[in-house]
Amino acid sequence: MNTGHEKAFAGHHPLTLFIYFSLIIIISMFTVHPAILMCSLTGGVSFYISVSGIRNFITELSFYIPLFLLITITNPLFSHNGVTPLFFLNGNAVTLEAILYGADIAIMLISVIFWCKCFNKVVSNDKIIYLFGGLIPKLSIVISMILRFIPLFKIQKERISQSQKAMGFYSSGSYIDRLKSMIRVFSSLITWSLESSIETANSMKARGYGLKGRSNFSMFRFSLEDVVTLSASVLFSVLVFYGNFSGRTLFTFYPEISGIATDLFSIITYVSFGLFCLLPTFTEIKENLKWKYYVSKI
C-alpha cells in the first residue's frame, strides 16, 4: 500500500489480467450457486481492500449494504414461487425462497461490481490501448475513455462543487438547497465532460492515432508467472463450467432450495474456485511482505 500501482498483481501481462478478470466476472454472472458466489465476493472484496485500503472499503459499505437489502426485499415482491410462504401480501405469497434468491442475486451483483472496481484499479488505460489498440483502435480508445469516465467525473465534480462553495453558493445545510446545488454542479459537469471527450478525440487524432504504420511502444513482458496464472485461470474455469453444465454443482431456488452438493468433485470445485479468486490477494500480500523485508534490510 506504500508503493505505486505497478507492482504485485498489476505487474502481470495485460493479456493475463484481462483473461483473469473476464473469466471471474463471467463465472460470477452466470452462476447462482451460493458457494461459488461467496468465493467470488470474498476474493473481490479482499483484493479491493488490498489494492485501495480498508478505510476506503468501510466508507463504501454504506452504499453496498443498503443496495444488498434493497435487492433482497425487491425480489419477493415480484416473485411468489417457493414452498415456504412466510406471509401473504395482497393475496400473493412472500416466500423464503424468493428472499434468499434476492440475497443471492445481490451478492452476485456486488461481487461483480467489486471485481470491476479492481479491474479499473489494476488494468490502466495504457494496458487496454496496448491490448486492443492494434486490432480495433477506435473501440479501444472508446473503452479506455469509458473506464476513465467515472473516476474523472468524480474528481471534476469535487472541483466544481469546491469552487461553487468558494463563491458562497448554497452553503446552507438544508437538503433541498443541497439538492439544488447538486443539480447546478451536475449540469456544468455534463457540459464539461462533453467538451473534454471531444478534446480527447481531437488530440488523439492530431497524434495520428489509429493511422496505418503508426507504431506503439510498450514495456510489457510475458513472464513465467503469467504462464502459471493464465493456465490456472483456464484450468479452474473449465472445472467450474464443467460442474455447472454437467449439473453436478447446479443449484436451484424454485420451488424448493436444493442443497449444496457436498461430494468430492463439488468440494474440489468450490475450494479451487476460492483459491482462484484469492490469487490476487495472495500476490499482493506476498509482494508487500517482500517489500517490507527489503526495506528493513536497507
Partner 1 sequence: MKKDILALFLAVLLVIVIIGGANIQSVDEYYLTHIDDITPESDTVYISITCGDVLINYEDLDPSLKSGDIIPPDGVILEKTEYVLRSGDTVFDILNRAVRYNHIQMEYQGADKNSFNTIYIQGINYLYEFSCGPVSGWTYYVNGDLPDKGCSDYKLSDGDVIEFVYVCRIPETFRQGGS
4 forms part of the interface with partner 1 (CB under 8 A): no
DSSP 167: T
Going from the C-alpha of 252 to that of each of 29, 97, 257, the distances in angstroms are 15, 10, 6
The sign one gets for the Cα dihedral 172, 174, 177, 179 is: positive
CA distance 110 to 116: 10
Minimum CB distance to partner 1 smaller for 93 or for 129: 93
Asked if residues 132 and 140 have their Cβ atoms less than 8 Å apart, the reply is: yes
By beta-carbon proximity to partner 1, the closer residue of 92 and 231 is 92
DSSP for residue 237: H
Toward partner 1, which CB reaches closer, 174 or 215? 174
CB of 98 to partner 1, least distance (A): 11
Distance of alpha carbon 1 from alpha carbon 127, whole angstroms: 21
Q: Which residues contact 238 (CB under 8 A, 6 or more apart)?
A: none
Question: Min. distance of Cβ 121 from partner 1 in angstroms?
Answer: 36
* Per-residue binder mask for partner 1 (CB under 8 A), 79-98, x = binder: -xx-x-xxxxxxxxx-----
Task: For residue 91, give the C-alpha cell.
Answer: 393475496
**Judged by CB under 8 A, does residue 175 bind partner 1?**
yes
Is 35 an interacting residue with respect to partner 1 (CB under 8 A)? no
Report the residue from 247, 294, 296, 297 that binds partner 1 according to the rule CB under 8 A: 247
Binding mask 249-268 for partner 1 (x = CB under 8 A): -x-x-xxx-x----------
CA 270 vs CA 193, 228, 231, 292: distances in Å: 44, 20, 18, 33
Q: Which is nearer to partner 1, 50 or 72 (CB)?
A: 72
Query: Given the rule CB under 8 A, which residues bind partner 1?
Result: 80-81, 83, 85-93, 174-177, 247, 250, 252, 254-256, 258
